[in-house]
């Protein structure tokens, strides 16, 4: 338990430092490409993805990770949820990781974004919105034991970019690594076409991308060793796990959850409530992110309490609500899908990422670009 707490907090703090010093938010990465035609943060995100992709799959191949957690491909949920989440991050003023690290900088608006994010996640996972989410995610596509496309309960392998064509290797090289090589060959010339500008403070974009990729690799490994299974970096499910532990901690002694006691109670149609305490490894990672961002901001003299007006607080709270619902419906947030999930080459994460970007661009157009055009 001690190492679960320590490793989760340390990697979360590392993520907070990198995010804060690099000013790295994927809302900005997606928004800037269409709003001001600036690809700087998008390139940083691509570097992080390539580093995480190589590192995570290497750890899986050498057995340091038993199996990368590739999410189920639920087309309706991934498309609609990704799109709504992409819209929500623009309204909320930051992505899943962005609002958490900005809490550590003292932005009160980020607290309201996180609050809306948390409420909608809990309502979508097990509350009033869960029937709708379950219905929209009920159609699932994957592969069976013979590598054929199937839906529903016959799925035995989750669909990915390297197994969907039924080819396992080419000249003895696993298809997974061929796909990674192709993606790198396409991305690297674009990433390094122009030199990265060096900011006056903080990490340069390419350094931010490299460090974020390394944090994700470390999270894959540490969550496997001390977290009960490889999860990497994500902020949707873990946000719910953190708040559920705080607000609804189940302090029933562990001894009562022994197999003998559970069997005895089940014979009498009595079930113990699900344990909420202690928090999961990923919950500690989420908690560590604003802590790391706080110390980073203090050291750079950038910490400052900023209180927005009431209208802004209502707006970002609503954006957080939309983010939370979209994240649960889509199966993850920007980091959970666009970096951690994408690094596994899961089709669910690739499709979700595409629609997160499209949702982001849609809201950027209506909130920023169209009003400017109307003034011309």
Identify whether the C-beta of residue 82 lies closer than 8 Å to the C-beta of residue 352: yes
How sure is the predictor about 85, in pLDDT bands with cuts at 50, 70 and 90? Answer: very high
The tally of CA atoms less than 13 A away on the side-chain side of residue 131 is 1
The pLDDT of 320-331, averaged and rounded, is 96
Determine, yes or no, domain membership for 325.
yes
How sure is the predictor about 292, in pLDDT bands with cuts at 50, 70 and 90? Answer: very high
The pLDDT of 73-100, averaged and rounded, is 96
pLDDT > 70 fraction of the chain, expressed in percent and rounded: 95
- pLDDT of the residue at 201: 85
Q: Flag the least confident range among 145-154, 316-325, 330-339.
A: 145-154
The pLDDT of 261-266, averaged and rounded, is 72
Burial of 313 (0-12, 13-18, 19+ CB in 10 A): middle
- pLDDT of the residue at 253: 65
Residue 285 has pLDDT above 90, yes or no: yes
| C-alpha to C-alpha distance for 112 and 90, rounded to whole angstroms | 14
Determine, yes or no, domain membership for 158.
yes
Determine, yes or no, domain membership for 114.
yes
Determine, yes or no, domain membership for 241.
yes
Determine, yes or no, domain membership for 266.
no
Report how many domains make up the chain. 1
| C-alpha to C-alpha distance for 326 and 88, rounded to whole angstroms | 8
Residue 88 has pLDDT above 90, yes or no: yes
Determine, yes or no, domain membership for 117.
yes
More confident residue, 89 or 245: 89
More confident residue, 149 or 376: 149
The pLDDT of 26-49, averaged and rounded, is 93
How sure is the predictor about 16, in pLDDT bands with cuts at 50, 70 and 90? Answer: very high
| C-alpha to C-alpha distance for 60 and 69, rounded to whole angstroms | 10
- pLDDT of the residue at 354: 97
Determine, yes or no, domain membership for 130.
yes
Residue 199 has pLDDT above 90, yes or no: no
Structural domain including 181 reads 2-249+284-375
- pLDDT of the residue at 251: 60
Determine, yes or no, domain membership for 264.
no
| Nearest-5° Cα angle at 346, 16 to 123 | 60
- pLDDT of the residue at 363: 96
**Across all residues in the chain, what is the average pLDDT?**
91
């Amino acid at each position: 338990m001690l190492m679960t707490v320590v490793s989760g907090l340390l990697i979360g703090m590392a993520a907070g430092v990198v995010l804060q010093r690099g000013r790295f938010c994927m809302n900005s990465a997606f928004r800037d490409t269409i709003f001001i035609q600036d690809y700087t943060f998008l390139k940083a995100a691509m570097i992080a993805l390539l580093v995480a992709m190589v590192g995570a799959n290497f750890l899986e191949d050498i057995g340091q990770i038993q199996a990368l957690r590739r999410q189920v491909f639920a087309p309706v949920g991934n498309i609609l949820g990704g799109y709504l989440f992409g819209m929500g991050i623009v309204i909320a003023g930051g992505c899943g990781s962005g609002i958490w690290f900005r809490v550590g900088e003292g932005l009160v608006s980020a607290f309201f974004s996180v609050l809306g994010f948390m409420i909608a996640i809990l309502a979508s996972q097990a509350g009033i919105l869960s029937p709708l989410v379950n219905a929209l995610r009920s159609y699932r596509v994957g592969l069976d034991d013979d590598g054929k496309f199937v839906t529903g309960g016959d799925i035995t392998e989750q669909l990915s970019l390297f197994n969907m064509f039924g080819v396992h290797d080419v000249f003895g090289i696993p298809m997974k690594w061929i796909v990674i090589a192709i993606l790198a060959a396409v991305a690297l010339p674009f990433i390094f076409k122009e030199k990265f500008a060096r900011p006056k403070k903080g990490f340069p974009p390419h350094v931010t991308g490299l460090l974020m990729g390394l944090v994700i690799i470390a999270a894959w490994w540490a969550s496997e060793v001390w977290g009960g299974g490889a999860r990497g970096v994500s902020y949707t499910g873990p946000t719910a796990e953190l708040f559920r532990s705080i607000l609804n901690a189940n302090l029933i002694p562990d001894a009562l959850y022994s197999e003998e006691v559970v069997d005895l109670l089940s014979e009498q149609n009595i079930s113990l409530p699900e344990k909420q305490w202690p928090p999961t490894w990923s919950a500690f990672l989420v908690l560590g992110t604003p802590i790391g961002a706080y110390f980073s901001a203090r050291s750079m003299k950038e910490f400052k309490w900023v209180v927005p007006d009431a209208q802004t607080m209502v707006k970002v709270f609503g954006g957080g609500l939309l983010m939370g619902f979209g994240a649960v419906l889509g199966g993850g947030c920007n980091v959970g899908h666009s970096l951690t999930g994408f690094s596994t080459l899961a089709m669910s994460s690739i499709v979700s990422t595409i629609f997160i970007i499209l949702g982001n661009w849609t809201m950027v157009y209506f909130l920023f670009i169209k009003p400017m055009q109307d003034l011309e």
